[in-house]
Chain A
């Protein structure tokens, strides 16, 4: 077997657990998209072009609430901003990629893809385009398919409230928030964002509670002395 095809197979193998884990959310996205007023085609278009689960869900929450388009786009940008860091970190490790290959590869840079690529580089295995796309393509194809299936079946649901569908996004977002709990300043950031967003919700009103609440949390993170500085003060 040529090195290229064995790398593709290793990539496909790495994709399998991600394909399985993402399946419920891919379908959930499609169902919620229809519930929030998107057409089946629009739901599939969003999965195929944005290709970032959490931000797609954030967008849906806002499509249903008659919010100005630029705020929806800005919010999706804010949720996806972490990719800037992935991109910067991974950019140094894909020296084997040609320039145009990097342009393609970055489109598929979702959280698990980033994590797996970093892990492969740590193991000193070659981080090639063949491996990378071997992992990326199955995840992508299934994600788009699941969005379509979810959207088709979602339009059959007539009473989403009785099935709790309308409340799945807050639960999902809460899960994501808890997933970041290992990060520095997590608790103060979450408390500041939570209180800030509730306060803004009742005073300024929706949708400004999103940007104002997030700003409160980020300001807290900036004001708290960075860890490295604390260490520097502690060690004379």
Chain B
């Protein structure tokens, strides 16, 4: 994103507010949630689901909007990811996407 707001680049504003909301999550749990004796089970289930739910939405469209090289790389990475650590999967995935693209897929 380009442009300025109050003489400061919009990107810098976004970063500053992103930093503030991130710090709020790190401080807020202690300030707010510690007042509750117990978190209701459904709230707990919703909170537990948050990271996987958000991150999946960043992967799924990439799997269907790219070409066969992209779809095949992600499919193989799922299989690899269940067996190998994150870093190994990441490196193999990187090799796969470069290889499949240069093969013309």
Decide: A197 and B77 in contact? CB cutoff 8 A. Answer: no
Q: Interface residue count for A (Cβ, 8 Å)?
A: 97
Q: A91-B29, A190-B52, A214-B53 are in contact. Are A197 and B61 (CB under 8 A)?
A: yes
Decide: A222 and B93 in contact? CB cutoff 8 A. Answer: no
Residues of A contacting B54 with CB < 8 Å? Answer: 58, 75, 78-79, 193, 210, 214
Q: Which of B42, B45, B55 contacts A79 (CB 8 A)?
A: B55
Q: A164-B94, A171-B90 are in contact. Are A92 and B34 (CB under 8 A)?
A: yes
- What is the minimal beta-carbon distance from A77 to any residue of chain B, in angstroms? 4
Task: Flag B1-29 by CB within 8 Å of A: 1 or 0 each.
Answer: 11000000111111111110111111111
Decide: A82 and B51 in contact? CB cutoff 8 A. Answer: yes
Residues of A contacting B15 with CB < 8 Å? Answer: 42, 45-46, 49-50, 59
Give the bracket for the number of chain B residues in contact with chain A: 35 or more
- What is the minimal beta-carbon distance from B86 to any residue of chain A, in angstroms? 4
Q: A177-B55, A193-B60, A210-B58 are in contact. Are A85 and B47 (CB under 8 A)?
A: yes
Closest to B69 in A: A167
Interface centre among A78, A102, A227 (most CB of B within 10 A): A78
- What is the minimal beta-carbon distance from B31 to any residue of chain A, in angstroms? 8
Task: Flag B32-62 by CB within 8 Å of A: 1 or 0 each.
Answer: 1110000001101111111111111111111
Q: A209-B61, A221-B48 are in contact. Are A226 and B42 (CB under 8 A)?
A: yes
Residues of B contacting A83 with CB < 8 Å? Answer: 22, 25-26, 29
Residues of B contacting A102 with CB < 8 Å? Answer: 30
* Residue A106 lies at the interface, judged by CB distance under 8 Å to chain B: yes
* Residue A150 lies at the interface, judged by CB distance under 8 Å to chain B: no
Decide: A69 and B10 in contact? CB cutoff 8 A. Answer: yes
Residues of B contacting A50 with CB < 8 Å? Answer: 15, 18-19, 22
Residues of B contacting A21 with CB < 8 Å? Answer: 87
Decide: B56 and A177 in contact? CB cutoff 8 A. Answer: yes
| Interface of chain A residues 152 through 173 with chain B (CB within 8 A) | 161-164, 167-173
Decide: A109 and B81 in contact? CB cutoff 8 A. Answer: no
* Residue A66 lies at the interface, judged by CB distance under 8 Å to chain B: yes
Residues of B contacting A73 with CB < 8 Å? Answer: 14, 17-18, 21
| Interface of chain A residues 39 through 74 with chain B (CB within 8 A) | 39, 42, 45-46, 49-52, 54-55, 58-59, 61, 63, 66-67, 69, 72-73
Closest to A107 in B: B23
Residues of B contacting A201 with CB < 8 Å? Answer: 60-61, 64-65
Closest to A59 in B: B18
* Residue A4 lies at the interface, judged by CB distance under 8 Å to chain B: no
8 new A-B contacts at CB < 8 Å, known A214-B54, A220-B49: A178-B86, A184-B45, A185-B48, A192-B53, A209-B57, A214-B57, A222-B42, A226-B41
Which residues of A are in contact with B by a Cβ distance under 8 Å? 21, 24, 37-39, 42, 45-46, 49-52, 54-55, 58-59, 61, 63, 66-67, 69, 72-73, 75-92, 102-103, 106-107, 109, 161-164, 167-181, 183-186, 189-190, 192-198, 201, 206, 209-210, 212-218, 220-222, 224, 226-229
